[in-house]
Structure 1
Amino acid sequence: MGRDSGSRSILAGNLRLKLSSRVAMVRHLAASLVLLGLIGTVVGFIISLSGVDPAKAGDVASIAPMVTKLIEGMSVALYTTLVGGVLNIWLSINYNMLATGTVNLITEISALGERHAGS
């Protein structure tokens, strides 16, 4: 109350920026989870290949430990990819809900301010 339309517009813009910057953190975390999942995939492949010794590949007794290491590494690779992807989807949904809620909140606050300014 008691402010001109330019001042109210500036206040609404500041509120929009403040709330939007806080919601943007969720989007950033979602994108980071995908990258962490990909890094986990690379680590899993490194673990898988670290157990393979081409010189011993012909030795029947050496094959079982190599296969075990391959399976362990592939497990890490697949699980980290899965977790990163699922959490990305979950956080993206949350981001969209927060962004929509933020827009609705700012719209309602601005409309309420204009109604009070007009009275």
Structure 2
Amino acid sequence: MVQLAIFDYVRLMKTLEKIKDGKEPSEDDVKKIEEYKRRYTNRELPETVQVVLDKHKQAIEDKKLKAEVKEESEEEGIPFDIYQSIKSGILSGGVAFLSEFVKVKLQIRLLKK
């Protein structure tokens, strides 16, 4: 058991050095850190490591989301860039975006009368 703990610690230290040197962690590095956290719940990791892990997880989520949006754009037959702009505008602007859109459409219709 002691040998396993030392081995885990050495693996973790190598990964931490890599992160400290400003290199992005690989999937294997992230797995090593996650495994260490799971095994040794009473030990805390440096905050910088947690920040790197969070960024890594966010990058994975962003990649998944982008793939979903790309698939949706292909299904709708709309170029990806345009579809992404529309989608992000609706999601981030929400009701305000739609409200302005409706106002402009109504103004155009009233001007045509």
Indicate the structure with greater helix content.
Answer: 1
* Structure 2 length-normalised TM: 0.30
* Structure 1 length-normalised TM: 0.29
Between the two structures, name the one with larger relative contact order (CA 8 Å, sep ≥ 6).
1
